């Protein structure tokens, strides 16, 4: 074992999709499952605590679940790290479906 911590992929909501293709980017961390109320932002932020507590600037946020949850998670990650690493699913008949990584530097 190298002793180097593996990057994390924060899956915001597991609604039954197969997220295993994202494992190439790091260890999957499922933050919620099933239906999430898009109106309960306080509860949403509680579910996203690992992003604000346990994440590093090299980790990823995988877009899934309600749009407002994605916004809250991205804001929390960017506020903590000054950057945002997103994994976005791309349906691609020519090259095969896969995740695309995008990094935004905010500072």
Mind listing the pLDDT tens digit for each residue in 38-73?
Answer: 999 998 988 899 888 989 999 999 999 999 999 999
Q: Are strands 83-90 and 98-105 parallel, antiparallel or unpaired?
A: antiparallel
> Under a CB-based contact definition with an 8 Å cutoff, are residues 84 and 10 in contact?
no
Mean pLDDT of the chain: 91
Q: What is the pTM of this model?
A: 0.89
Region of residue 27 (phi > 0: left; psi between -120 and 50: alpha; otherwise: beta): beta
Q: Note the pLDDT of residue 2.
A: 55
């Amino acid at each position: 074992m190298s002793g180097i911590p593996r990057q994390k992929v924060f899956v915001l909501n597991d609604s039954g999709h197969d997220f295993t293709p994202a494992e190439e980017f790091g260890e999957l961390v499922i933050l919620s499952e099933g239906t999430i109320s898009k109106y309960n932002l306080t509860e949403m932020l509680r579910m996203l605590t690992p992003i604000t507590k346990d994440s590093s600037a090299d980790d990823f946020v995988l877009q899934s679940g309600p749009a407002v949850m994605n916004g809250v998670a991205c804001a929390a990650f960017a506020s903590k790290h000054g950057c945002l690493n997103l994994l976005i699913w791309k349906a691609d008949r020519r090259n095969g479906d896969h995740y695309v990584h995008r990094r935004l530097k905010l500072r």
